[in-house]
Amino acid sequence: MPDNDLVSEHYTHGTLLEAIRQGVAKLGKTEADVTLEDLGPVEEFHIGGRQASADFLDQLDLQPDDSVLDVGCGLGGVARFAASRYGSRITGVDLTQEYVQTGRVLTRWVGLQDCIVLEQGSATAMGYIDASFDKAYMMHVGMNIADKSALMNEVFRVLKPGGRLGIFDIMRTSDDELAFPVPWASEAKGSALATLGEYKLALEAAGFQLSAERNRHAFALAFFDKLHANTTAAGGPPPLGLHIVMGANAAQKIANMVENVRAARIAPIEVFAEKRR
């Protein structure tokens, strides 16, 4: 099972901000005129990209006066999208320091620094007081956190009574062995996949009341097909894309993930729950 150092090491790039700057330059832009849409392909590190974010977050009914927690915020791409789309105040926490530092810069580039705070920390031991947030979400985060009970207990603690939680994670759908590396782990010991049933047990044990769930397997396959077609037509990946974040073996990580999804070993699944009043 992964520990914090292993997870942080897996995601640390070393020169990520400079690589993104170079991608922005290839678009013919600078940090002064790059837009949220320009950055979307490189900053939303989950299956389905921005479309998945919109489909998922719309179900949380985020409001302008909501204080929202982004658990495992990565580069803050979803936080910036949420702040722009719904007007909510977003606090993001992530284990990888480079992601947080880079995300703060990108937030300034698009002028959203007044409504977004990104901080380094562990999702199972956050430094926020009880009942701090109206809503919370996590997108492709639990695959690196072995102790789902500790994760759900901590999110439950920082949510206000009546607060809602949305989860969009890759989950196990069979006992078959996975092909590695994948985007979230270079080898099996870095992966902490769980089944939907295990997520639901952890949520209910923490005190959450389950409200909805949705398997996005078909959506993922359609997304992969579209991504492959676009990459082939363009003769390679775009100037800004997740290949920048994933590094030199990005192609292998993506290919293995697609294989694992197609073989029905895993699937991206949404789960929604509420903290009882």
Per-residue pLDDT tens over the stretch 125-170: 999 999 999 999 999 999 999 999 999 999 999 999 999 999 999 9
Confidence of residue 1 (pLDDT cuts 50, 70, 90): low
Confidence of residue 277 (pLDDT cuts 50, 70, 90): confident
What would be the CATH architecture of the domain defined by 4-275?
3-Layer(aba) Sandwich (3.40)
Residues 6+ apart with CB under 8 A from 266: 170, 171, 172, 173, 178, 193, 260
pLDDT at residue 16 greater than cutoff 80 = yes
Confidence of residue 3 (pLDDT cuts 50, 70, 90): confident
Three-point CA angle 32, 36, 38, nearest 5°: 80
Q: How much of the chain, in percent, has pLDDT values that exceed 70?
A: 100
Torsion of CA 61, 65, 66, 72, to 10 degrees: 110
The distance from CA 180 to its chain's CA centroid, rounded to whole angstroms, is 19
* Per-domain boundaries in the chain: 4-275
Per-residue pLDDT tens over the stretch 73-83: 999 999 999 99
